[in-house]
Amino acid sequence: MPFRKSMKKYGRKLSINSFRMIIHVFVFEGMHREVYALLYDIVFYFYKARFNLYEIFHLFSAKESVFVVDIHILIKVFAANRMHDCSIDVVKQARKSGLHPSIYSCNFLLKCLVEASIKVHVVNLFKEMKSIGPLPNGRTYTILMNFYCSYHTRIEKAEKIMEEMQKRQISPSVVTYSTYISGLCRVGEADFALDYVRDLRDNNEPLNCYCYNAIIHRFCDTGEVNKALSIFDEMKSFGIIPDIYSYSILVDRLCKCQNIKKALNLIEEMKANNIKPTIVTYSSLLNGFCKIEEMELAIKTFYELENSGYKFDQLAYSILINGFCAQGNLTLACKLLVEMIKNNAVYAYNAVINRLCKDKKPEKALEVIPIMLKRNTLHVASFNSLIDGFAKQSDSEKAYMLHENMQKLGIYPNVVTWTIFVNILCMAGQVGKANELLRDMIMMGLNPDTISYTSMMAGYCKNGYVKEAFKLFKKMPCMPSCYL
């Protein structure tokens, strides 16, 4: 009988006693999955019924090894479901009762606390493990290393972890090393990280491509692509095989630097090593083609890959759409947009709308709206681009019409929308109405930003109301932009 039904039928006390026996039988028989499922059910019944979760601990009162297994599973139930205070309390109560949580239990809890980024609990549990037990092992230190290098970047703490491991003669794993190296790169110590990797290599310590990838990525980020390539070659020369990420980092940076030839060579090398380039890799290549204005080559590559089985996402489509828009080839940009709809990709409508409006073709951009309406992807940013496009064409009538239509569709103006209308009114010399609109924004709970105030001040100045502009300047909660 399911636990919830038993509780209703027999009452809490009887069910707890009954299920206590069942849990221990399951543990004795090694049925740990069944124990986890049952404890999960009990925990969430207590939680939803607002019973004291502490009572669950009384399921375990003996000191035999079977009960220690129970405790581990209970810690796991609480920790895995982000009930961190409860899991910590189980550890404390177990110690008080003479039960000693295993290193596996404590490491699991520590990992969950790290992932939840609860610094106080992480530090306290680690200290307790060192003082009360179980003593930290290599896995414990790796979890702490991850905490200080990934969640809370404190490289000095990470260094102390390495020193402590050395003192306790615990050999760091390749994961420990790669995590530490990533942390060094994250704080800008790529040169030190490289020297550290070379020392590890000279001492025959375990290394893998992840150790090198972090360094390669950092040098790529700082624009030192030649140094990154040199480290990539060094890695290969010592028998460490690059993975898909090693290649993708370099292909992306080379394409951004417009070194398409070298990027293509790396892609061919990937294929030769039986590493299949991903959509991300090819998206970088497409971006590279767009940067050097080789749009014919970009679209040719795009369709060849599509025909070979690749399914492109929003990123690839957006790259090409933006590329064609930048060249003024709106026909092909719109053609790709239609293909996106057919392929059910995530749509980049705004890229087309923005470009058409920028090219003073807001009427053409309006043709995209029915498509977006049909796909239920209309939002305020789309209307803002169109309203601004018509405003810059001095077609305030169309701008106001769009304003009405968007509200009819349940899309409400934001600060950007109202700022555009402040500009429209100021350009038409209607600074009084523009100022009223600014006050209305505040009344509606929309806080005007720097652009809003700057637009209003510019409107005052252009229409000869310098005193009013100065008064507004003194009231502004933020400084105006250099637009003035």
Residue 139 pLDDT > 90: yes
Burial annotation 78-105 (CB, 10 A radius, 16+ → b, else e): bbeeebbebbbbbbeebeebebbbebeb
Q: How far is residue 69's CA from residue 27's CA, in Å, rounded to a whole number?
A: 7
- pLDDT for the residue numbered 352: 74
Task: Examine the pLDDT at 87 and tell me if it is beyond 90.
Answer: no
Contact indicator for 437, 425 with CB cutoff of 8 Å? yes
In this structure, the chain runs to a length of 484
pLDDT score for 358? 78
pLDDT at 304 over 70: yes
Q: Copy the structure tokens of residue 280.
A: 């991300």
Cβ neighbour number for residue 222 with a 10 Å cutoff? 12
User: Which of 23-37, 301-315, 362-376: highest mean pLDDT?
Assistant: 301-315
Q: Please answer whether residues 320 and 298 qualify as being in contact, where contact means their C-beta atoms are separated by less than 8 angstroms.
A: yes
DSSP annotation string for 85-100: HHHHHHHHHHHHTT--
CA distance 244 to 79: 34
- Over the stretch 206-224, which tens digit does the pLDDT of each residue have? 999 999 999 999 999 999 9
On the question of pLDDT at 33 being above 80, the answer is no
Q: Residue 374 pLDDT more than 60? A: yes
pLDDT at 19: 61
Collapsing DSSP to helix, strand or coil, 229 comes out as helix
Q: Of the given ranges (12-21, 272-281, 332-341, 463-472), which has the lowest mean pLDDT? A: 12-21
> Does 480 score more than 60 pLDDT?
no
| 320, 325, 326, 329 alpha-carbon torsion, rounded to 10° | 100
Q: Round to whole Å and give the CA distance between 438 and 434.
A: 6
Burial tier of 476 (Cβ tally within 10 Å: 0-12, 13-18, 19+): middle
- The first and second tokens of residue 240, run together, are 């460490």
How much is the pLDDT for 64? Answer: 45
CB 39 within 8 A of CB 55: no
pTM beyond 0.85: the answer is no
Q: What is the mean pLDDT of residues 302-308?
A: 89
- 7 vs 326, which has greater pLDDT? 326
Asked if pLDDT for residue 120 goes beyond 80, the answer is yes
**What torsion do the CA atoms of 466, 470, 475, 480 make, to the nearest 10 degrees?**
90
pLDDT tens-digit readout, 332-349: 888 887 777 666 557 567
Of 266, 306, 364, 309, which is closest to residue 320 (Cα–Cα)? Answer: 306
Kindly state the greatest CA–CA separation across the chain: 89
Give tens-digit pLDDT for 63-77: 444 444 557 777 777
**Among candidates 33, 7, 98, 88, which has minimal Cα distance to 60?**
98
How far is 169 from 138, CA to CA, in rounded Å?
A: 10
User: Is the CB of residue 438 less than 8 Å from the CB of residue 456?
Assistant: yes
pLDDT more than 90, % of the chain: 35
pLDDT of residue 333: 83
pLDDT in the model for residue 452: 76
Whether the predicted pLDDT of 15 surpasses 70? no
Determine which of 240-254, 288-302, 408-422 has the lowest per-residue pLDDT on average. 408-422
Predicted local distance difference test score (pLDDT) of residue 38: 67
Residue 152 DSSP one-character state: S
